[in-house]
Structure 1
Amino acid sequence: MPFAMLAGASAAAKALAPTACTTIEEVGSTGVGALTLGFLALAVSTVVMVAKAASADAERRKFYFCNTFICGVATFSYFAMLSGQGWTAIAGCRQFFYARYVDWLITTPLLILDLGLVAGQDFVTIAAVIGADMLMIVAGYMGAVSVVTTVKWFWFLFGMAMFLPVVYSLARTFRETVITRKEPDMIDLYGKIAWLTIIMWSFYPVVWLFSEGFASFSVSFEVVAYTIMDIISKCVFSFMIVSAHDSLGSSSSAPSQAREYV
C-alpha cells in the first residue's frame, strides 16, 4: 500500500511537471536594486565585524566571529543573486533563488548560536534548537520546489512544526537562562535581539505563503521583502550586539555547562 501511494505521488508529479518555459518571470529593476542594497549593507557589516573581532579580547571575539560569518555568508548569497546565479525556474515558470536557502541554512543556526551565547545557554540545548531550525529551512526549500500542490503544503506544515519549538526556545528557554544570571545589561540585550529575531522570522513564512506558496507576489516584491528582513535580522542584529560591547565582557556570558565547574 505505501508503495502504491508513492507510485501515485510520483505519477502525479510527472503529470504536473512543467514543460520547458518559454518565458520566466524574473526579478525586475526594483528587485535588482534591493539585491544591490542588501549586498552593500551586508558587505559593510561584514567588514565592521571583522574589524571588531580583530581588536576584541577572547571573551567578546566569539560574538563578533558569529556576526562576521552571519553577514559574510549572506553577502556571498546576495552577490550570487545579484550576478544572476543561484536560481532556477520552478512550477509556474517563476524565478526561484535557491541561493537564499543555502544562506539561511548556514546563517540562521549562527544567529541561534549567537543568541545562545548571549543567554549563556548550554550547548546541548543550543544544538537541539539549531537542529529544528535546519529542518525548518529544508522543509521550506522542499515546499518551494514541489510540483504537487498537496506535497507543497505538507512541507509547509512540516516547516511550521519545526518553527514553533524554535520560537518557544528563544522566547522562553533561552530567556529563563539569561534571567538566572541576574545581569541587567545582558538580560536587556538578550530581550532586544531575541524579540527582533522572533518578530522578523515570523514574517518569513508570510512572504513564503504569497511567493513560493500561492505565487501572488511578483518576484521583485518577494526579493524586496526578503531583503528588508535579511538586513534587519542580520545587520541590525549584529550592530545591536556591537553596541553592547562592554556587557559582553562578563565572564558569566559563557554557557552554563562550562560554569558548573567554577
Structure 2
Amino acid sequence: MEGYYDVYKKVPPYAPTATSTAVPLPTVTHAPPQFEHITSEGHHALWVVFVLMLLSTIAFIVFSWKVAIPGRLLHQLMTYIALTSTISYYVMVTGGGWSFHPIWATEEHRHDIPDTHHLVLRQVFWVRYIDWLVTTPLILFALGALSGLSGSNILNTIVANVTMNLTGLFGAYTCRGKYKPGWYAMSWVAFIAVVWNLASNARATAQRRGSAKVYNPLAIYTIAVWIGYLVIWGVSDLSRTLSPDGEVIGFGILDLLAKPVFGLWLLFSYRKVREADVHVDGAWAEGFGHREGLLRVGGEREEDA
C-alpha cells in the first residue's frame, strides 16, 4: 500500500484497517485482498511517454502545415493518432482512467491439501482500450490507403481489429481467471484476420499499385509490434506474471513504436515513391460548397440553366 500512496496520495479502497481483537467468540476471518498497482516507477514511465507523445503530436501538426490539403491525409491521420494517445496518457498520469479489478486467484497445493483462494485487486487502465479503439483503426486506414486497398477490405480489417481490442478489454475485466484464456484466444483469432488482410490482400494491391516498396516494411513492422501487445497482455492481465509497473513500461514502449515511430517512418518514406502518394481531391480539398458541375433536380447542369 505504500507504493500506492506514493503515487495517488491516498490509501487504496478496501484497504484493511485495524480492528479490535477483543471478540467474545472465535471467528473465521478472510485474508485481506492483495493489491497489484503501479508504483512511482510506473508513474514516471507514464510521464515520459506522455511527453514524447505530446512532442510527436506537435511535430505531426507542423509537418501537416507544410503539405497541400490534397496530399495531407496521411499527415492528419498521424496527427490524430498521436493526439489521442497524448490525451490518454495525460489521463493516466493525472490519476484517472483506471479501476481496481477483482480476481479470484487459486493456489494449488500438494499432498491432499485443499486449494486456497484469495482476492486480488489489480489495477487496470481501461483508458488504454479507448485509445486503441480510436488509434488502431486509423493506423489500419493509413496502411490501407497507402497500399490502395479497397474500402470493403479496409472495413473488414478495421472490424477485426475492433474485435481484437474489445475481447482484450472483456478479458481484462473477467473476474474468473479460468475464462480469461477464452478471451485471449478470441483476440488472437481477430488478430490473425488483421494479419491476413495486411499480408495478403493489401500486399497484393500494393504490388499492383507500385507502392510495395514503402508498404511492405511498414506492414511487417506493424504486425511485429502488435504481436508485442498480445504478448504483454498475456503475461500481465492473463497470467499476472508481469507487474503493473512492467505492464506500463511494456505498453508504453509499444505505443511509442506503434504511433510516433510508425508515423515518422511513414511520412518520410512514402514521399520517395511516387506510386505511394495518397492524393485526395474533390470535397476533401475544395469543400462541399464547390458548385461547378452540380445537377439540378430536373437533371440539367446548373451552368446550362
> What TM-score range do you get, normalising by the shorter chain?
0.7 to 0.9
Given that 1:73 and 1:106 are in contact with CA atoms closer than 8 Å, whether structure 2 keeps it comes out as: yes
Q: Which amino acid aligns with 1:235?
A: P
The structure 2 residue matched to 1:141, chosen from 141, 150, 169, is: 169
Provide, for residues 209-246 of structure 1, a one-character-per-residue CA deviation record: whole Å limited to 9, x for no partner: 11100111110000000000000010100000121252
The answer to which structure has the higher helix fraction is 1
- Once the 2 structures are TM-superposed, how far is the Cα of residue 116 of structure 1 from its aligned partner? 0.5
Given that 2:149 and 2:206 are in contact with CA atoms closer than 8 Å, whether structure 1 keeps it comes out as: yes
How many equivalent residue pairs? 234
- Once the 2 structures are TM-superposed, how far is the Cα of residue 54 of structure 1 from its aligned partner? 2.0
Please state whether the residue corresponding to 1:90 is helix, strand or coil: strand
- Once the 2 structures are TM-superposed, how far is the Cα of residue 122 of structure 1 from its aligned partner? 1.1
Provide, for residues 27-76 of structure 1, a one-character-per-residue CA deviation record: whole Å limited to 9, x for no partner: 12221222111111111111111112222123430001110111110111
Structure 1 distance, partners of 2:273, 2:57, is 19
> Which residue pairs with 1:9 in the alignment?
none
Structure 1 distance, partners of 2:15, 2:163, is 31
Structure 1 distance, partners of 2:48, 2:192, is 31
Please state whether the residue corresponding to 1:89 is helix, strand or coil: strand
Given that 2:147 and 2:276 are in contact with CA atoms closer than 8 Å, whether structure 1 keeps it comes out as: no
Counting only pairs closer than 5 Å after superposition, residues 122-201 of structure 1 correspond to structure 2 as 122-182=150-210, 186-201=211-226
Please state whether the residue corresponding to 2:221 is helix, strand or coil: helix
Please state whether the residue corresponding to 1:93 is helix, strand or coil: strand
Structure number with greater Rg is: 2
> Which residue pairs with 1:25 in the alignment?
36
Is 1:102–2:113 an aligned residue pair? no
- Once the 2 structures are TM-superposed, how far is the Cα of residue 154 of structure 1 from its aligned partner? 1.4
Flag the 1:180–1:132 CA change in 2: closer, same or farther, 3 A: same
Structure 2 length-normalised TM: 0.72
- Once the 2 structures are TM-superposed, how far is the Cα of residue 252 of structure 1 from its aligned partner? 6.2
Question: Identical aligned pairs, as a percentage?
Answer: 29
Per mean C-alpha deviation after superposition, the further-off stretch among 45-54 and 69-78 is 45-54
Is 1:121–2:149 an aligned residue pair? yes
Is 1:246–2:271 an aligned residue pair? yes
Please state whether the residue corresponding to 1:158 is helix, strand or coil: helix
Structure 2 gaps, min length 5:
1-12, 17-33, 103-119, 281-305
The answer to which structure has the higher strand fraction is 2
Structure 1 length-normalised TM: 0.84
- Once the 2 structures are TM-superposed, how far is the Cα of residue 168 of structure 1 from its aligned partner? 1.4
**Aligned-CA RMSD value:** 1.9
Structure 1 gaps, min length 5:
1-18, 256-262
Structure 1 distance, partners of 2:101, 2:91, is 18
Q: Which amino acid aligns with 1:236?
A: V
Is 1:79–2:107 an aligned residue pair? no
Structure 2 distance, partners of 1:77, 1:131, is 22
Given that 2:71 and 2:279 are in contact with CA atoms closer than 8 Å, whether structure 1 keeps it comes out as: no
Given that 2:37 and 2:244 are in contact with CA atoms closer than 8 Å, whether structure 1 keeps it comes out as: yes
Q: Which has the higher contact order (CA 8 A, sep 6+)?
A: 1
Structure 1 distance, partners of 2:257, 2:70, is 25
